[in-house]
Amino acid sequence: MSALAISPLHRAARFWEAPIGKKAVMAITGLILFGYVIGHLLGNLQIYSADHQQINRYAAFLHNPANAIPLWVIRTALLAAVILHIVSAVQLWLQNRAARPLGYKKKADVPTSYAARTMRWSGVIVGAFIVFHILHLTVGSVLPVHEIAANEPDVRYNVITGFQNPLVAGFYILAMILLCMHLYHGLWSMFQSMGFSHPRYTPLLKKGAALVAILIAVGNISIPIAVLTGFLTL
């Protein structure tokens, strides 16, 4: 008689110990964060609305104290996803670095693997950017955050004034380019990590991942460009 000799908790711990388990955690948390990136982009693009208050109304909706519970549930989930994503990545990185103590004098790389090989750097920079981005537009410790009323931030004002600073805009654009690379690799690699690969679909998947990643980057980058070129003004 066979039995489940192992508790679910123990099972999860052993899963986490295995590199393939960690990659699965990265894939799932990556997917959650990808969902957030899409949602965030849709929010951002409202800045182009002819109705200048559109984006501010959206912000006010999110900040409405009545929505506090769902907001914090989502924020907690996102935070957990970020932490798991980063912790897995760091642990794998350390293990993998230890797997080759002495490097090559000369090492060639496969050109198509550039995005994959630079995941940790694009990840670190995007991570730093996220911190900056929250400090800038949510916490307000970079530039003062304007509010129309309590819990009703003037997003349009904050974004446009922020991006009028070329350094802020430049960092934003750089981060979005790296995010694009990170997403490109992450989006198809997530399928590989979860065990899906097929000679017919994987190449399509890679193309699709590139397209989605580029669209996201273009959508986001368009905003500082629009500000800097004077297309978006207060």
Partner 1 sequence: MRIILHIWRQRNATDQGRMTRYEVPNVSEHMSFLEMLDVLNEDLIAKNEEPVAFDHDCREGICGMCGCMVNGVAHGPLPGTTLCQLHMRHFKDGDELYLEPWRARAFPVVKDLVVDRTAFDRLIAAGGFISVSTGSAPDGNAMLVPKEKSELSMDAAACIGCGACVAMCPNASASLFMAAKIAHLALLPQGQPERERRVKAMVGQAGQELFGSCTNIGECEAVCPKEIKLEVIARMNRDFLKASWTGREE
- Indicate whether 230 belongs to the interface with partner 1 (CB under 8 A): no
Q: Which position among 50, 51, 69, 106 is part of the footprint of partner 1 (CB under 8 A)?
A: 106
For partner 1, the binding residue among 5, 9, 149, 167 (CB under 8 A) is: 5
Binding marks (x or -) toward partner 1, 190..209, rule CB under 8 A? -xxxxxxxxx--x-------
Separation between Cα atoms, residue 129 and residue 213, nearest integer Å: 17
Neighbouring-strand partners of residue 153? 147
Binding mask 110-139 for partner 1 (x = CB under 8 A): x-xx--xx-x--------------------
Q: Give 66 or 200: the residue with its C-beta nearer to partner 1.
A: 200
Binding of partner 1 by 182 (CB under 8 A): no
In the bound state with partner 1, the residue whose beta carbon lies nearer, of 3 and 149, is 3
What distance in Å separates the CA atoms of residue 103 and residue 114, rounded to the nearest whole number?
18
Contact yes or no for 185/116 (Cβ under 8 A): yes
- Contact residue for partner 1 among 50, 66, 69, 99 (CB under 8 A): 99
Instruction: Answer yes or no whether residue 7 interacts with partner 1 by CB under 8 A.
Output: no
Q: Does the protein bind partner 1 through residue 155 (CB under 8 A)? A: no
From the list 8-16, 54-62, 77-85, 122-130, the region that binds partner 1 by CB under 8 A is 8-16
**Given candidates 50, 69, 105, 150, which one binds partner 1 under the rule CB under 8 A?**
105
- Mapped to the 3 state alphabet, what secondary structure does the chain carry? CCCCCCCHHHHHHHHHHCHHHHHHHHHHHHHHHHHHHHHHHHHHHHHHCCCCCHHHHHHHHHHCHHHHHHHHHHHHHHHHHHHHHHHHHHHHHHHHHHCCCCCCCCCCCCHHHHHHHCHHHHHHHHHHHHHHHHHHHHHCCCCCCCEEECCEECHHHHHHHHHHCHHHHHHHHHHHHHHHHHHHHHHHHHHHHCCCCCCCHHHHHHHHHHHHHHHHHHHHHHHHHHHHCCCCCC
Q: By C-beta, is 11 or 146 nearer to partner 1?
A: 11
* Smaller CB separation from partner 1, 69 or 98: 98
The residues that touch partner 1, with contacts defined as CB under 8 A, are 2-6, 11, 14-15, 17-24, 92, 95-96, 98-110, 112-113, 116-117, 119, 185, 189, 191-199, 202
